[in-house]
């Protein structure tokens, strides 16, 4: 792990949420945005978001409509709504300061076990086994000699990473090591075409030593295709409503997607999630919630 720490210090990407001035709020925002979304898509939205709402109090005071518009096309817009709800809780229950306690973080809307531990580790310097897909892949290859990590096993995965981090001398090094494992999986030990010649622990990798055997174990469930999915229809509806300053007639929205049963399902789910609402004419027009 010492080699991973040294490699990370020399090769880590210059990401805005890693800057000291980002603070716990910047880390929280980035971790929510990075859920199921690549870094490249997050960067522009994150920078705009933090410039406009540099604290939980700023975001809590904003209208939901503006929050959803600022989320743009990052997908899974419920995250934006949950992030604003988390800002409200931080303001009302924690004096506007992001808490560091695990239980308090887990109580925030939109913050699950992984995100809470990542915030503690990367924002507060509290050593945590932060386990994402990249970390699980590195550990599976280096320790188990498997090309893939297989389905998540939360307790076992965290125990494996904790054991690795505990080989480091102090808490600060352990936090850097946690970030280093993630970075190693993201830019070197990639799912496809791993760059083993750039890996600081290639000589320890059991998968490499064994000649890169094909993975034959259980596989994690694959994400459903986006094209033609309800997610795509939801995005199309939201994009239209975000771009309009006035409620949009249902008759027009229906022209955006040919499969009407799927359209109605997507529209209903957006209403249920509180992302859109009916306009003054309750049965014939819609708008972004909070408009």
Q: Does residue 85 carry a catalytic annotation?
A: no
CATH 3.40.1230.10, domain 13-124, yes or no: no
**265 C-beta neighbours (distance < 10 Å), count:** 14
Q: Which residues make up the CATH 1.10.1670.10 domain(s) of the chain?
A: 133-209
Q: Which residues of the chain have pLDDT under 70?
A: 219-224, 281-283
Q: Which residues make up the CATH 1.10.10.10 domain(s) of the chain?
A: 230-288
The string of pLDDT tens digits covering residues 75-132 is 889 999 999 999 999 999 999 999 999 999 999 999 999 999 999 999 999 999 999 9
* Tokens, residue 132: 């994402």
Q: Which residues make up the CATH 1.10.340.30 domain(s) of the chain?
A: 13-124
Q: Which CATH class is domain 230-288?
A: mainly alpha
pLDDT of residue 222: 64
Residue among 9, 31, 240, 272 flagged as catalytic? 31
Bridge partners (DSSP) of residue 285 are 249
- CATH number of the domain at 133-209, please? 1.10.1670.10
């Amino acid at each position: 792990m010492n080699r991973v720490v040294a490699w990370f210090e020399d090769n880590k990407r210059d990401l805005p949420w890693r800057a000291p001035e980002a603070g716990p709020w910047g880390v929280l925002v980035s971790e929510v945005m990075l859920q199921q979304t690549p870094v490249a898509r997050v960067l522009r939205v994150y920078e705009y978001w933090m410039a406009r709402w540099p604290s939980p109090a700023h975001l809590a005071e904003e209208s939901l409509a503006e929050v959803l518009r600022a989320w743009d096309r990052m997908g899974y817009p419920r995250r934006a709504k949950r992030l604003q709800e988390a800002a409200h809780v931080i303001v009302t229950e924690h004096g506007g300061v992001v808490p560091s306690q695990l239980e308090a973080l887990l109580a925030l809307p939109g913050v699950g076990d992984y995100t809470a531990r990542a915030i503690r580790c990367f924002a507060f310097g509290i050593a945590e086994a932060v386990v994402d897909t990249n970390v699980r892949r590195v550990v599976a290859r280096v320790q188990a000699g498997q090309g893939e990590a297989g389905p998540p096993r939360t307790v076992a995965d965290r125990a494996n990473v904790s054991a690795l981090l505990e080989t480091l001398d102090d808490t600060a090094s352990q936090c850097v090591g946690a970030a280093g494992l993630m970075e190693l999986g993201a830019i070197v030990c990639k799912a496809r075409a791993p760059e083993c010649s750039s890996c600081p622990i290639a000589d320890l990798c059991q998968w490499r030593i064994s000649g890169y055997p094909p993975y034959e174990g259980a596989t994690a469930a694959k994400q459903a295709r986006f094209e033609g999915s309800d997610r795509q229809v939801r995005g199309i509806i939201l994009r239209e409503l975000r771009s309009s300053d006035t409620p949009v007639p249902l008759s027009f929205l229906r022209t955006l997607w040919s499969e009407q049963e799927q359209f109605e399902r997507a529209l209903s789910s957006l209403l249920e999630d509180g992302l859109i609402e009916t306009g003054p004419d309750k049965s014939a027009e819609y708008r972004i919630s909070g408009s």
